[in-house]
Structure 1
Amino acid sequence: MGDYMEETGDPFTGKKKEELKKFLEYMGLTYDEQITHSIVLRKEKEIIATASCQKNIIKCVAVSEEYQGQNLLAHLMTSLIEYFYGMGISHFFGFTKPQNKELFCSMGMYPVTQTEKILLLENDKNGLEKFLKRLKKETQEQQKCKVENRHENGIGAVVMNCNPFTRGHEYLIREAAKKNKWLHIFILSEEQSFLTTRERYQLVKEGIQEIPNVILHQTSEYMISPAVFPTYFIKEKAKAYEMNCQLDIQLFGERIAPELNITDRYVGSEPACDVTHTYNQCLREQLPCYQIRFHEIPRKTYGDQIISASEVRKRYAENQLKSVCGMLPESTWRYLERKKNENGK
């Protein structure tokens, strides 16, 4: 391509990574350590443009001011799309500053939602609409074989990782289900290091069979943990997580909740994890703006210990699963026992 040389890394390491970090810093951006693939364009060994991704999320896109208007962005985007398709990825997203909207739209991206500080885009013009239709269809199909709680009028929602599904999750679901006509359970779809999305979904499905008024969904990419949102373009790093929470809550409040007539959202209290505590506080402050009531349910305990999925994972890794069997529903316990035996742990 002319005088420019393209170079890729999965991701870059060593000297090449440091060069990329310095270029991004010069462009007012921060290198994101979660990057899985990067492309750089060089002229006379100097980086003049770059684009990266973390799985299916585009990030750290920059073109040196001197070389803007020379179609370098189109070249980077074409290379990224070829990489995505080569990896079997057909649906991808981008997070950037709102002032970059026109730039990203020229790359074939479409806005999903935006706040004052963050813009979320995707490559499928109707992607969000398809997701909302899927949620509605799942709701209608599951309601046919479920029974509503006739004593209540609200439509509740909980959003969970369930890695793995514990008696704490079960308790929160039961408490919320008692207080609503229907309860939507959203299982976060981003892959986890312990159990896969499919495993987590199946364990929740088995664990809630006796609760008649619950509807189970996988979230897709439109409801992911704000902890994994890119922050490479946000200068106020101390406030970055709260900004990400605002984007997540806005998408839920403006688009997802109205589609399912959700009136109430439930969380478990979080005395230990600062990140989750901050997210709960953001929910408490912002959900009323969308006419959604916020409810924080005290965490269930096992003896004098708060039931925690992270504690279960820790004991599993230490081959001490039996010490937390009381934290787990029977179906989760059986599955983890079988998994442990199959892995020879």
Structure 2
Amino acid sequence: MDKNLEYTIGVYDSKQLVATGSFFKNTLRCLAVSSDYKGQGVTNMLVSELMSEQYYRGYTDIFLYTKCDTAKFFQNAGFNEIARIEDAVVLMENNPNGIQQYVKSLSKKRVDADKVASIVVNANPFTLGHQYLIEKVASENDVVHLFVVSEDASIIPFSVRYDLVKKGTKHLKNVIIHKAGNYIISSATFPSYFIKDGRSVVDTHARLDLEIFKRYIVPALGINRRYVGEEPYCKVTRKYNEIMKSTLEKAGVECIIVPRLELKGEAISASKVRNYIKEGKMAEVKKLVPNSTYEYFKSKAAAELVEKIKNNIGRH
């Protein structure tokens, strides 16, 4: 069962469960229909009921992960394929023009140049490590497209993360900041219920995310380089970086892994900053973040969030 579920329904024939489905935020998942009931409109009924609830909650752009051999059933229910990884997963959406509209919006910020770089950050929160990486990329390239992961899978909400990234990079005139939107996928919310083992989950998430990146985002912005920070702590991120390097370089995008900025021999990380906030050690936080991040967490506006971090027991 997927660990990220907010709402689940069942379809019954008399007292027999014949289909079930769930969603998490704006993604449908864990959809299953008994083989005896396929071709009888049950899939459409299931999807329609789930989407009605999502619309009620304010979601209009709906996404769906499914196996390759069941994608055709969801096409009949009004979903459109964005990308697939053969023998693993298909990502679909209800908006027939969704990905095209996203590409069109990106293209408006395209700047043609010799060296066009990209970075994707979660910035949970924005640290001196993030700032160092972005400054380095800005110094080595003509244009930098900086994507901030939009999904609120992190304890620090997107609005705060995005604002701190903007403040911490405002001195870099060749950096263009983007909201990543729905098409850069967080590993924290990628569904794993139909993939057999943890290693395959990491691999499939990376391959799908990078397929979307190279097929849609790279040509929209003319990107020919992608930078990432070296990952000394998280095995999942380190594996993603390895897959990214091999995948993007085959597509003609140079992938550059930058060693992390260190303080006293240890890499600066957002998780350390969150731990120091949790422990109330703001003097230690100040050593690891730009002044704009530090001032925010000292302000009254951050009081509720700081309390939330102090009470959090999860990794993110």
TM surpasses 0.5? yes
| Aligned position for 1:136 | 107
Which of 250, 254, 261 is equivalent to 1:300? 261
Contact kept, 8 Å, 2:6 with 2:23, in 1: the verdict is: yes
Pairing 1:93-104 to 2, within 5 Å after superposition: 93-104=63-74
Contact kept, 8 Å, 1:182 with 1:213, in 2: the verdict is: yes
Cα distance, 1:192 vs. partner?
Answer: 3.8
Pairing 1:227-242 to 2, within 5 Å after superposition: 227-242=188-203
Larger Rg: 1
Q: Quick check: 1:265 aligned with 2:226? A: yes
Distance in 1, matches of 2:259 and 2:199, equals 28
Cα distance, 1:167 vs. partner?
Answer: 0.4
Q: Quick check: 1:188 aligned with 2:149? A: yes
Contact kept, 8 Å, 1:226 with 1:248, in 2: the verdict is: no
Distance in 1, matches of 2:256 and 2:154, equals 29
May I ask how many residue pairs the two structures share in their alignment? 305
Structure 2: which amino acid aligns with 1:313?
A: R
Contact kept, 8 Å, 1:50 with 1:76, in 2: the verdict is: yes
Cα distance, 1:335 vs. partner?
Answer: 0.4
| Aligned position for 1:255 | 216
Structure 1: which amino acid aligns with 2:159?
A: R
Unaligned regions of 5+ residues in structure 1, if any? 1-30
Contact kept, 8 Å, 1:168 with 1:300, in 2: the verdict is: yes
Taking structure 1 as reference, are residues 192 and 69 closer, same or farther at Cα in structure 2, changes over 3 Å only? closer
| Aligned position for 2:19 | 49
Q: Give the TM-score, by structure 1 length.
A: 0.84
Distance in 2, matches of 1:276 and 1:44, equals 47
| Aligned position for 2:278 | 317
Pairing 1:92-171 to 2, within 5 Å after superposition: 92-116=62-86, 117-137=88-108, 139=109, 153-171=114-132
Distance in 1, matches of 2:98 and 2:199, equals 31
Cα distance, 1:203 vs. partner?
Answer: 0.7
Cα distance, 1:326 vs. partner?
Answer: 1.1
SS in 1 for 2:82: strand
Structure 2: which amino acid aligns with 1:338?
A: S
Taking structure 1 as reference, are residues 223 and 341 closer, same or farther at Cα in structure 2, changes over 3 Å only? closer
Taking structure 1 as reference, are residues 340 and 86 closer, same or farther at Cα in structure 2, changes over 3 Å only? closer
Distance in 1, matches of 2:302 and 2:9, equals 42
Unaligned regions of 5+ residues in structure 2, if any? 308-316
SS in 2 for 1:224: coil
| Aligned position for 1:9 | none
Distance in 2, matches of 1:196 and 1:94, equals 23
Q: Quick check: 1:32 aligned with 2:5? A: no
SS in 2 for 1:226: coil
Structure 2: which amino acid aligns with 1:177?
A: A
Distance in 2, matches of 1:238 and 1:323, equals 35
SS in 1 for 2:144: strand
Cα distance, 1:181 vs. partner?
Answer: 0.6
Task: Report % sequence identity.
Answer: 34
Distance in 2, matches of 1:281 and 1:339, equals 41
